[in-house]
A and B are shown apart, each in its own frame.
Chain A
Amino acid sequence: MTDKLLELENVSITLSGRQIVRDVSFHVAAGQIVTLIGPNGAGKTTLVRAVLGLCAVSSGAIHSRRGLRVGYMPQRLHINRHMPLPVLQFLRLSGASREQVLTALAETGIERLHAAAMQNVSGGELQRILLARALLRNPQLLVLDEPVQGVDLSGQTELYDLITKVRNQHGCGVLMVSHDLQLVMATTDTVVCLNHHVCCHGHPDHVSNDPAFIELFGEQFARKLAVYHHDHDHEHDVHGDVVPGSDSGSHS
């Protein structure tokens, strides 16, 4: 396949004598959403850090397409309280112009926040700001570490729909870490189930019937997942207003 953006080949990572992940292989192609799921401490974030070059691989290799532009949305961001930092200035740190920043804010539905201080935005708003920052890199690959962390349930669905929309509009590949199996299943092309090693991987429908998956997450949960549908006739935007259901999310 020539449209592979990123390929992990038998990657093992050892941090201070402890093996965090071993022998992990998978790839992300252009336009594909790959989701890493797994219990706490399974090594998901470490693997993402390795993909971003933030931590070293002990064995194996991570190949990325030459000149790959990566947009990264970190799990959380602690901004020093003593730095006066409006959203606009935070986003301009990526090197983008004011106009580009305003466009990215419009795309993520938070134009009105441009003058707000970074320290005063809500969890859901922060995730959208971080997504906007990742988009400003005009990325070919988006790396999202728990993108819906600290967001309420309906906000989570909305964010996943937004991520799918972004993927459709920009045609970028997405590598995403998530705990929220039910929500993720609807929007993902490939699931990689990680518990220090790859337990199973493939299409969500396939994975949820895999014995290794059922063993890891429990039979009840896997059954619930297999029949999961998410359907609603309206949505709420980030300000809580009701908006008509959009076609952009791949509802199943």
Chain B
Amino acid sequence: MEELILRALSAGLLVAVITGPMGCFVIWQRMAYFGDTLAHSALLGIALSLLLAIDTNLTVLVGGICIALLLAWTESSSRIPLDTVLGMVAHVALAGGVILMGLTQQGQIDWLAYLFGDLLAVSWREVIQTALLGGVVLTTVVVCWRKFVALAVDRDLAQAEGLAVRRYQTLLLVLMAITATTAMQIVGVLLVTALLIIPAAAARQLANTPSQMAVYASIIGCLGVLAGVAASYFADIATGPAIVVASFAIYLLASLKRS
């Protein structure tokens, strides 16, 4: 197999493994907007890194974590509804990113690569970064699983039972930021939310317990990546969109099986 494909598959599968459980939390806590906001803001990070000539992946990651912390703080103290805050942050960051990109001297920016991802262009270095970050996210989710689920079921009940609700919610948002910014490099800004919610939604059709849903979501995400990369290789279509469409096909099959 070509090394190009091997790299793409490794990165894609690693991302799919973590977007599985994280996508479940997106669905359970109704956070679909949150992934969008992080992804849109990443464009600001990309523009900043180009302007200041610093590492893009690192800038995007740190920027995402900052936004997660900001949102965790806003969620508990703001008078403005959360979806409004998320919408504002997303689009102001997007607008700021576009303005900054205009200011950079590099006239030719590959917009499509940022918007839809370029899995076939990942380097081994990025694969290793993804593995490390994915390892951190997955380990934390497994260790804190019961607490995260208790939080998603009922926040008041969890807090009354002595769970440090704000701390764990903030931790979950930071993990979400790491996941979304990592996934963004694979499927692009516009398709991050799809990679989070479609496999999880498909898993919902088949699972009987929360942990089953998380594992199924990871597996379905991996199947989507395999199918998408294969389609991209053999039929020469864009990889990110191919992964999303393949995942959606699995979702449809799962829905059929349920009904």
Contacts and interface: CB of A to CB of B under 8 A. Distances in A.
A50 B30 CA distance: 27
B7 interface: no
B91 interface: no
A78 B158 CA distance: 14
Interface residues of B, number: 24
A86 B208 contact: yes
B171 interface: no
A84 B146 contact: no
A163 B159 CA distance: 23
Contacts, number: 66
A84 B200 CA distance: 12
Interface in A60-93: 70, 72, 74, 77-80, 82-86, 89-90, 92-93
Interface string B170-197: 0000000000000000000000000000
Given A84-B204, A89-B209, A77 B28 contact: no
B212 interface: yes
A45 to B, nearest CB: 11
A7 B153 CA distance: 30
Q: Do most interface residues of chain A lie in helix, strand or loop, or is the interface mixed?
A: loop
Interface in B35-69: none
B146 A95 contact: yes
B251 to A, nearest CB: 13
A243 interface: no
B156 A54 contact: yes
Interface residues of A, number: 25
B217 to A, nearest CB: 12
A114 interface: no
Contacts of B100: none
B82 to A, nearest CB: 16
A54 B152 contact: no
B5 interface: no
Contacts of A54: 156, 159-160
Contacts of B208: 84, 86
User: Looking at B149, B158, B160, which has the most chain A CB atoms within 10 Å of its CB?
Assistant: B160
